[in-house]
Each structure stands twice: as C-alpha cells, then as structure tokens.
C-alpha cells in the first residue's frame, strides 16, 4: 500500500484553512518542499520553513478572516495519472488560480510550463 504525501499535504492545508489556523505542519518530502516554494512565490502563503527533524511548516495567509487559498484539488492520483502536452496545459479560473505540473524540468506552475513549452503530469489545481 502506498501513501500519497501530496494528497495528505493538500488535505492538511484545506483543514487548517477551514478552522482558521495560522500554521500547518506535515512531513517533508522533495515534492512537498517544491510545492510549498511555489505557493510562497505565487503569494498563496506567507512563508514556509523546513525543519531538520523532517517536518515542513507553512505560515498560511489570510485576507481579513478569509483564507488566500480557497480551494486545493488533487488531479493526478496514484491510480490515475493525468498528462498533458504543452498545448493543452489548463488555465485555472481563467488565470486566477494555478495548476502545478511535474515536468522534465521539475515542478512548475502552468504559466511557466506554457512559456517554456513543457508538458507533463498535472499534480493539482490551486485557487
């Protein structure tokens, strides 16, 4: 049986947003660290910190009492991967959200994938 670390990360963030927590913590993996960096770069979270004990902590961002992350949706799952070429990279909410892709050049957002003409596996949608 495999454990889906990315789904676990997205669920923990979703649950923390639902109850208004300021921080959320989960185990560190390479993919989780790269996605946390993308979330910080895109302005969905305030910051993240990687602790030596193997945990990653995100500082969530709120606008008043509303969270910046309103929805996180896992697209590719362990039993069903979804791949696209560079022409079919989706725009999430007409460009208001982001799609995170795993490409041959690393984990990137949909905008970067389109500009570099990269296709790959769609990991999740965030808006």
Contacts with 114 (C-beta within 8 Å, 6 or more apart), sequence order? 86, 89
**pLDDT, position 67:** 94
Is pLDDT of 92 > 90? yes
The domain 5-67 is classified under which CATH number: 3.30.1330.20, 3.30.1370.30, 3.40.50.2300, 3.40.720.10?
Answer: 3.30.1370.30
- Rounded to whole angstroms, the Cα distance separating 50 from 42 reads 18
Indicate the pairing of strand 62-63 with strand 98-103: unpaired
**pLDDT, position 2:** 66
When pLDDT is averaged across residues 72-80 and rounded to a whole number, the result is 96
Model-wide pTM > 0.85: yes
When pLDDT is averaged across residues 11-29 and rounded to a whole number, the result is 97
Per-residue pLDDT tens for 39-73? 999 999 999 999 999 999 999 999 998 999 999 99
- Rounded to whole angstroms, the Cα distance separating 92 from 74 reads 13
CATH architecture of 72-126: 2-Layer Sandwich (3.30)
Contacts with 80 (C-beta within 8 Å, 6 or more apart), sequence order? none
pLDDT bucket at 110, cuts 50 / 70 / 90: very high
Per-residue pLDDT tens for 25-37? 999 999 999 999 9
**pLDDT, position 29:** 96
Domain boundaries along the sequence of the chain: 5-67, 72-126
**pLDDT, position 15:** 97
Per-residue tokens: 60: 């969530």
């Amino acid at each position: 049986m495999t454990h889906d670390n990315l789904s676990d990360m997205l669920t923990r963030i979703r649950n923390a947003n639902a109850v208004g927590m300021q921080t959320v913590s989960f185990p560190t993996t390479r993919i989780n660290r790269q996605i946390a960096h993308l979330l910080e770069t895109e302005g969905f979270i305030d910051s993240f910190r990687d602790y030596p004990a193997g945990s990653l902590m995100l500082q969530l961002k709120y606008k008043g009492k509303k969270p910046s992350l309103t929805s996180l949706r896992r697209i590719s799952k362990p039993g069903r991967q979804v791949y696209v070429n560079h022409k079919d990279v989706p725009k999430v909410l007409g460009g208001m959200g982001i799609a995170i892709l795993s490409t041959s050049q690393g984990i990137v957002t949909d905008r970067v994938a389109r500009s570099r003409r990269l296709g790959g596996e769609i990991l999740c949608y965030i808006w």
